[in-house]
């Protein structure tokens, strides 16, 4: 070795390595690699996997499919923003907790958004360990950037540093040049007047980044921007669902109804979202009770989307009886958010392989705020995150109605095994009486979705306002999947007032079981335990008459049975004001 920089190249061969897989598809096998020179050494964990991003012309347009070790992966996940607005509070414990919540909700991908930050090493190490694919944006987001030599030299240092730092992680699935820079060309008057000039500047910057990335990491997929149709394609991927990745914001920003999600089938949807308020426990931390109005100065301060509170409230009038109490406004906003995202994900998952990925906006918050997140700044799960855990299950049953008259039932299987079983359809009125039922045998083929049944509104045994459909799927006599479908919006449904009972029991491991029972069907039944931090095993559920349902509560600190019992509150859509 000589004084100064030395480059040493050699090849190591590992016979028959155990492969690294995304969460839900196999084990996350990692190996320790140590390089020593004299007294100096470097150790890191590496994984072996073969990852491709397939973009091929097909009957729908052009695909976008992540393929790992020969298997096509349906990517299920969310967008990630910095975990705290104050960097010193971005602790390892917070990373561990949030990424564990990702796994608990059956996700396999996170998009590191280009308007945030390159994450710390602990983030990528945990994603390797947990099997979380990372869509990695470079940190250029929603703006116009200079392209002079000095700026490009700065960009070059940034790209070289980050690619060298991160390229050995098996979790890194794709390098993406930026967030919404192509779209930004249509946002400003100066770019609208001279789009060609600013497009040339964009191409210069993007080409500079891509040239560096392809040289440093030639075997990993390069993607110019999110959203986009691929290299050399500068079309509008907010509206074009035939190719590339899509950002679909027509529901939130344009005020379209939730059923507008049925109007598009993205090849890969890397952004879509709907806001809610954080829980009353979080609101208490920043707003005194005299500010508990959505148009109060403090509530408006903790809302950084200009029309956000207005959009949330206006949508109540579409789907619900408008609540008057502040706590029910909070509750209903989270129900509404969960329904919105479920509507999109259920439909797009059913359209596999035309759609092969859904990353909702957004997973987390970096301060206490009304937002699109499914997890609050405190770490508390919003109701959406419980929905995510259910609608991202590897095996899932969905029901939807696109045309107001035909109800479609689909079975989704993201595993590598075929499943045979029985599906039961119960048509139940709002008093709880089973008016009609029938069963069918099904086979869910590995890595597919299939339409297992459909029926017309005229086949319903009651007026659509007077009952609902409860579906159970029993696979191999041991796997039970449940879902429900309301034939009318909650506002128009003739729900009955339920009598709900609860029993709180202390388990041996200091967690609590809560046994619930009702005399009439109750919808979006939600448990809250005031002034005690913790999450539940499930929440925002349907409870049928005389059905015992046990929900577990996991407190962060030691609390007594009486404390949990006395602080337990139940919310439901049948009976609120």
Among 3, 7, 39, 180, which one carries the catalytic annotation? 180
**Residues 542 and 463 grouped into a single domain:** no
**Residues 517 and 475 grouped into a single domain:** no
Q: Are 177 and 203 in contact (CB under 8 A)?
A: no
Count CA within 13 A, CB hemisphere, residue 30: 18
* CB burial of residue 14 (10 Å; 0-12, 13-18, 19+): exposed
Phi and psi, residue 135, nearest 5°: -85, 110
**Residues 481 and 521 grouped into a single domain:** no
- pLDDT score at 233: 87
- Judge whether 335 lies within some domain: no
Residues in the chain where the model's pLDDT stays below 70? 477, 577
- Judge whether 126 lies within some domain: yes
**Residues 481 and 504 grouped into a single domain:** no
**Residues 231 and 261 grouped into a single domain:** yes
What pLDDT digit, counting tens, does each position of 275-304 carry? 999 999 999 999 999 999 999 999 999 999
Tell me if residue 32 falls in helix, strand or coil.
strand
Of 486, 508, 541, which one is at a domain's C-terminal end? 486
Q: What average pLDDT does the chain have?
A: 95
**Residues 465 and 545 grouped into a single domain:** no
- Judge whether 23 lies within some domain: no
**Residues 59 and 133 grouped into a single domain:** yes
**Residues 132 and 220 grouped into a single domain:** yes
Q: If we measure between CA atoms, which residue out of 382, 272, 403 comes closest to residue 336?
A: 382
- pLDDT score at 70: 97
Report the chain's terminal Cα–Cα distance, integer Å: 77
CATH number for the domain that contains residue 113? 3.20.20.80
**Residues 474 and 519 grouped into a single domain:** no
Q: Are 181 and 187 in contact (CB under 8 A)?
A: no
CATH number for the domain that contains residue 506? 2.60.40.10
- Judge whether 320 lies within some domain: no
DSSP one-letter code for 572 = -
Tell me if residue 208 falls in helix, strand or coil.
helix
- pLDDT score at 478: 73
Q: Distance of alpha carbon 456 from its chain centroid, rounded?
A: 31
Of 443, 464, 486, which one is at a domain's C-terminal end? 486
Residue 565 sits in which domain range?
500-571
Q: If we measure between CA atoms, which residue out of 382, 377, 384, 385 comes closest to residue 90?
A: 377
- pLDDT score at 477: 66
- Judge whether 312 lies within some domain: no
What pLDDT digit, counting tens, does each position of 417-465 carry? 999 999 999 999 999 999 999 999 999 999 999 999 999 999 999 999 9
Contacts of 496 (CB under 8 A, 6+ apart): 430, 431, 520, 521, 574
What pLDDT digit, counting tens, does each position of 365-400 carry? 999 999 999 999 999 999 999 999 999 999 999 999
Please identify which residue in the block is written with the tokens 């039970």. 480
Cis link prior to 353 (omega < 30° from 0)? Answer: yes
> What is the count of structural domains for the chain?
3
Tell me if residue 389 falls in helix, strand or coil.
helix
Q: If we measure between CA atoms, which residue out of 212, 130, 165 comes closest to residue 42?
A: 165
- Judge whether 301 lies within some domain: no
Q: Which sign does the torsion angle of CA 115, 116, 119, 123 carry?
A: negative
- Judge whether 243 lies within some domain: yes
Phi and psi, residue 212, nearest 5°: -65, -45
Of 366, 383, 418, which one is at a domain's C-terminal end? 366
- Judge whether 290 lies within some domain: no
DSSP one-letter code for 89 = G
**Residues 170 and 263 grouped into a single domain:** yes
- pLDDT score at 496: 97
Q: Are 302 and 312 in contact (CB under 8 A)?
A: no
**Residues 482 and 510 grouped into a single domain:** no
Task: Give the whole-angstrom CA distance, residue 390 versus residue 541.
Answer: 11
**Residues 521 and 556 grouped into a single domain:** yes
- pTM, entire model: 0.96
Contacts of 253 (CB under 8 A, 6+ apart): none
Contacts of 518 (CB under 8 A, 6+ apart): 498, 499, 500, 501, 525, 543, 544, 545, 547
- pLDDT score at 498: 96
457 as an active site residue: the answer is no
């Amino acid at each position: 070795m000589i004084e100064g920089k030395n480059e040493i190249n050699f090849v190591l061969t590992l016979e028959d390595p155990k492969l690294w897989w995304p969460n839900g598809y196999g084990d996350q096998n990692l190996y320790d690699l140590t390089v020593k020179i004299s007294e100096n050494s470097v150790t890191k964990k590496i994984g072996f996997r073969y990852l491709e991003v397939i973009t091929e012309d097909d009957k729908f347009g052009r695909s976008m499919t992540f393929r790992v070790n020969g298997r096509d992966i349906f990517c299920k996940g969310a967008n990630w923003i910095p975990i705290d607005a104050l960097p010193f509070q971005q602790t390892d414990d917070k990373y561990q907790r949030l990424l564990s919540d990702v796994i608990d909700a059956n996700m396999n991908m996170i998009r590191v958004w280009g308007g945030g930050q390159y994450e710390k090493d602990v983030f990528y190490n945990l994603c390797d360990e947990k099997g979380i694919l990372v869509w990695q944006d470079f940190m250029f987001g929603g703006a116009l950037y200079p392209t002079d030599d000095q700026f490009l030299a700065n960009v070059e240092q940034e790209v070289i540093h980050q690619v060298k730092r991160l390229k050995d992680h098996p979790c890194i699935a794709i390098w993406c040049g930026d967030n919404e820079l192509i779209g930004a060309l249509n946002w400003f008057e100066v770019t609208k007047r001279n789009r060609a000039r600013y497009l040339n500047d964009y191409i210069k910057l993007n080409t500079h980044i891509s040239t560096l990335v392809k040289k440093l990491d030639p075997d990993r997929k390069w993607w110019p921007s999110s959203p986009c149709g691929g290299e050399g394609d500068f079309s509008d991927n907010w509206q074009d669902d035939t190719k590339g990745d899509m950002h679909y914001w027509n529901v939130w920003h344009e005020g379209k109804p939730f059923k507008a999600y049925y109007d598009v089938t993205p090849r890969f949807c890397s952004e879509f979202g709907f806001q809610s308020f954080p829980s009353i426990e979080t609101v208490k931390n920043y707003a005194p009770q005299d500010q508990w109005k959505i148009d109060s100065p403090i509530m408006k301060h903790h809302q950084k989307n200009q029309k956000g509170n207005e959009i949330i409230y206006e949508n109540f009038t579409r789907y619900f009886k408008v609540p008057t109490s502040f706590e029910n406004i909070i509750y209903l906003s989270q129900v509404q958010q969960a329904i919105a995202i479920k509507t999109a994900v259920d439909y797009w998952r059913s359209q596999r392989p035309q759609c092969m990925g859904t990353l909702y906006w957004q997973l987390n918050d970096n301060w206490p705020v009304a937002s699109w997140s499914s997890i609050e700044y405190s770490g508390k799960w919003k109701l959406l995150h419980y929905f995510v855990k259910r609608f991202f299950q590897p095996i899932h049953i969905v029901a939807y109605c696109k045309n107001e008259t035909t109800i479609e039932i689909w079975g989704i299987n993201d595993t590598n095994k075929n499943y045979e079983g029985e599906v039961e359809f119960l048509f139940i009125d709002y008093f709880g009486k089973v008016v009609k039922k029938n069963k069918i045998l099904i086979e869910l083929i590995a890595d597919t979705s299939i339409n297992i049944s459909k029926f017309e509104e005229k086949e319903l045994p009651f007026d659509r306002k007077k009952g609902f459909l409860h579906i159970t799927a029993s696979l191999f006599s041991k796997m039970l999947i449940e879902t429900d479908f309301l034939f009318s919006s909650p506002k128009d449904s003739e729900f009955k007032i339920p009598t709900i009972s609860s029993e709180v029991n202390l388990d041996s491991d200091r967690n609590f079981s809560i046994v619930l029972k009702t005399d009439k069907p109750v919808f979006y039944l939600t448990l809250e335990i005031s002034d005690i931090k913790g999450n539940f095993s499930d929440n925002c559920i349907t409870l049928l008459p005389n059905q015992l349902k046990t929900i577990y509560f996991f407190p962060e600190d030691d609390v007594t049975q009486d404390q949990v019992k006395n602080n337990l509150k139940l919310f439901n859509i049948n009976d609120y004001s």
